[in-house]
A and B are shown apart, each in its own frame.
Chain A
Amino acid sequence: MPVEKNLPADDSGFLIEQLRQSLGLLRVAFDSTGEAMLIIDESRVVRWANQQAADLWGRGITVTMVGRPYSDLIRFHRLDGSQLMEIEPSHPLQKALTKDGLNCYQVGTQADDDSNDGKTDLIVRMVSWRQIIQMNQRFILLIFRDQDPLEQALAAQRQFINNLAHELRTPLAILKGNLHRIKRKAQPPDQLQQSLSDATAETNRMGSLVDNLLLLSELDTDLRRWNMKNGELKTFVERWACNLNLEFKKVLRLDSENIAGSCQVQIDQEALCIILDNLLDNSLRFSNTKSSIEITFRETFSSVELKFNDNGPGIQSEENHIAVFERFTRIEEHRDLKHTDGAGLGLTLVKSLMEGLGGTALCHSIHDSSNSSQQGFSVTLQFPKI
């Protein structure tokens, strides 16, 4: 039996008074914090705001923000100042659909746009997002705060890497062009020919390292321009596969009959191609025997899974299944003089791109002690269903 029914009228009045006091205390606490807070409902309307948020975007009065579309009050921008559209996967409200998180954005005020002839006053804020489900309704809590000194240092470091990678691209391109011209025009002796080939290979490797660093830096800072399209996962993968060289096509088996591949997802085709290229490159590098790669699909409650399985040696240590996704990680058990070491960024890029797409990347190894031919490495990519 509900407690309220047993309460004398005086006690229930006291309880209500106590609840009111608690509510008031909470309000005082939320208004005293240095963080601006907004709760946004499923229709993207502001349901709740604290005093900091009102001071920044509501002319000081919280109640004037409630009931208004959040986009009437604030806009999210990347750190380079370009506006983030709500459909983009880097947008906090898109990210909040899959998991809680935190990132740095520039936040602009809609009202300022109107009053400054289109010029927006942008403020840099760390923004965290969290999905709340209350009484069958979904809300998103957004918390805005200043960057702490460590975050400022990290942002400066990322900016430095970004600038450096950009600056290295031009001299590398000149170097590549010159090496190509020398190889084509001059007739160097064999020994010099080998040196030229080595120099070209190393320049290419450095070029791809710089490209990967730049892409990672764009992903870290949410500067990547996503070109999201809706479609069947299988179709996106087939588009990637049909552009492969014949020798790669021969080792690849695509499970196109599986109905799970027909599930609709939202994907950036270019990002998917980079992901699959990296997985393919990894598989070919580590397969000692004739490579065999299989791509399968599986549908779960909220996502579509793509499994990329090869017949490579896999990884023995459980810890390394997490470590392979970290930057510049090369697994000791894979060190082999026959292989050229990669930079250790391939799987990092796969993970970062998948996170950027709102998905996840995990890996495991297949080991069958009774059958030595039953081995392999499997990467599972999970894409959210739409």
Chain B
Amino acid sequence: MSGEFSVSVGLDRQAFMARVRAALGRPDSPPAAVSPPDIDESVARLAGPRDDLVALFCQRAQAAGMVVHATTSATLRVDLAAALEALAPRAACVSVAEGSLRETVLEGLRRIGCGAIDWRAKGGLEAHYDADLGVTDVWAAVAESGSLVLASDAVHSRGTFLVPPVHLALVPAGAIAADLLDLLAFPEGRTPAELPAAVVLVTGPSKTADIEGILITGVHGPREVHVLVIRDAV
């Protein structure tokens, strides 16, 4: 799937851009180097580093319809076991980076007799359709809006937080950004290819109000999102 065919329809780039420049009233001049406007943070910022980010995140995530529990590294094992027991999954997909957190999750699943599906065994999102729980860590989180931020890479599938009917996310306090302005700061000198191909902000369970404005969760994605915040983890 290299896609090296040429699409011979449509305009070429020069002709297309010439139309844009003509409309701007400068048909011949090459585009100038412009610097984008500054953002007045006194207007746009809704949360700052001085806020209690864990408390704010928990409150906003709850308001967005997620079920939020807080724990610490010391009590994580117990609280995770309790959460998993309550959810009682039969088969789970796990997208958690290698390390102790991943081991804790796998051990918790083993203890309740829940199989962890190896989603790499099948192509695309396919393996996730067999799971009734998706467990993930997060790329980041946002206190302002209570959002989980998930990103795709070798050990994080785009399906884990999307396809199973229930999503459980583990959020270390250190991952919580105060404001969207803090999350969406792209460092100078980085190239687009260094960004993950997909970064997804999840703010609540999948929902719709298309039929007579009645709110229903779980239309395509999960109907329940559970969040475990680890207060002392970075």
A and B: real partners? no
